[in-house]
Amino acid sequence: MLVVRPKISKTIVKGTLLILIFSIFLNVSKIENFIVFLLISFSLLLFYSLLKYLNYYEIGETYIVVHNLLSTKRIEYSEIEDGFLSQGLLARKFNCGSIYIVLKGRKGVEILKDIPEPEKIEEVIKRRIT
């Protein structure tokens, strides 16, 4: 069994870039207000990153288990119709990506977000669903 956690370094970089962009457009008359803005923004970013890190995925021989903060979902490979990888520019730089798992019978899609080395994980999943 392989246990995989999302890569949060990309999330932190992405959030930092957004905070910097928003801070350019702020009309701050006092430096104290700007510091408060930065403290709140980075606190929220770190909190979100921690929540994201608490999610993890188990890639077993006959199943995938998605562990979220409030729930756990077990997906048997026999329930999977297809799977594919999605990587943006930043994700490629950080060697991570999201794997979309399409379930049979219109049961929806499960997303394994920001997986490190996603090509390897996708290959393992594809091998097991065929």
Tell me the pLDDT of the chain averaged across its residues: 94
CA distance 29 to 50: 32
pLDDT value at position 44? 98
Domain 58-129 architecture: Roll (2.30)
Collapsing DSSP states into helix, strand and coil, what is residue 69?
coil
CA distance 85 to 122: 7
pTM assigned to the model: 0.86
Domain boundaries, the chain: 9-51, 58-129
CB atoms within 10 A of CB 27: 5
CB atoms within 10 A of CB 118: 22
pLDDT at 30 over 90: no
pLDDT at 55 over 90: yes
CA distance 114 to 83: 15
Q: Which residue has the tokens 């962009």?
A: 21
